[in-house]
Amino acid sequence: MKRIMEDTVKPEASYHSQGALRHSTIQRRPESLLENWCELIKLKNGLTLRAPGELRREAEKFLAWLRSRRSYSPNSLHRYILEFRKLCAYMALRGRHPRQLAFDDYMEMRSAGVVRTPEVVKLYLKFLYEATEDERYMRLYKKIRDPKSKPPLPE
């Protein structure tokens, strides 16, 4: 039985052994996204985006703020920066800075599948509010709802 298992090639193993760029779960770190900030982002809906290089500094500030708040796992930080990069790229496509985000932009990004997790947008808005004390960021923060899991039905 052991011999059969050794001879079986898993699809993931062959995919990764061919030099694919995907990180394993254990090796994910947000710095890898910052290092490759301007790489193309291919979304599942077919849209291809690129985050402008000048927004890398904004991402570094956001990452530093996230780290100062809590001890997030490297995987969580990686996911947050990945989603933030999509937000930056989408806003750049619209000719605007992410700090100019409006509720309509957020709803459009969500419906287009650009930003998958509202939590990242909310964290960025909280970061902006704490950095600038501009009330519009807090109003937008409160307007965006995180989808909560529904409690199970009683038996």
pLDDT tens column, 80-136: 999 999 999 999 999 999 999 999 999 988 888 887 778 999 999 999 999 999 999
**Mean predicted confidence (pLDDT) in 18-35:** 67
Residue 11, domain member (yes or no): no
The domain of 132 spans 25-143
Residue 115, domain member (yes or no): yes
Question: Given the structure tokens 């970061």, which residue do they identify?
Answer: 127
Q: Which of 80, 81, 82, 115 is nearest to 101 (CA)?
A: 115
Instruction: Provide the mean pLDDT of the chain.
Output: 81
Taking CA atoms, 115 is separated from 13, 76, 80, 131, in Å, by 29, 15, 10, 23
> One-letter amino acid identity for 65?
W
β 48-50/40-42 pair status: antiparallel
| DSSP character at residue 21 | -
Domain count, the chain: 1
Least confident of 60-64, 91-95, 120-124, 145-149: 145-149
10 Å Cβ neighbour count for 55?
A: 22
Question: Given the structure tokens 């933030």, which residue do they identify?
Answer: 84
Residue 72, domain member (yes or no): yes
pLDDT at 15 over 80: no
Q: How far apart are CA 89 and CA 41, in angstroms?
A: 8
Residue 125, domain member (yes or no): yes
Q: What percent of the chain has pLDDT over 70?
A: 77
CA 136 to chain centre: 22
Phi–psi pair at 152, nearest 5 degrees: -65, 150
Q: How far apart are CA 72 and CA 132, in angstroms?
A: 23
Residue 46, domain member (yes or no): yes
Which residues, 6+ apart, have CB-to-CB distance to 18 below 8 Å? none
Residue 114, domain member (yes or no): yes
* DSSP-derived 3-state class of residue 44: coil
Strand runs (DSSP E) across the chain, as ranges? Answer: 40-42, 48-50
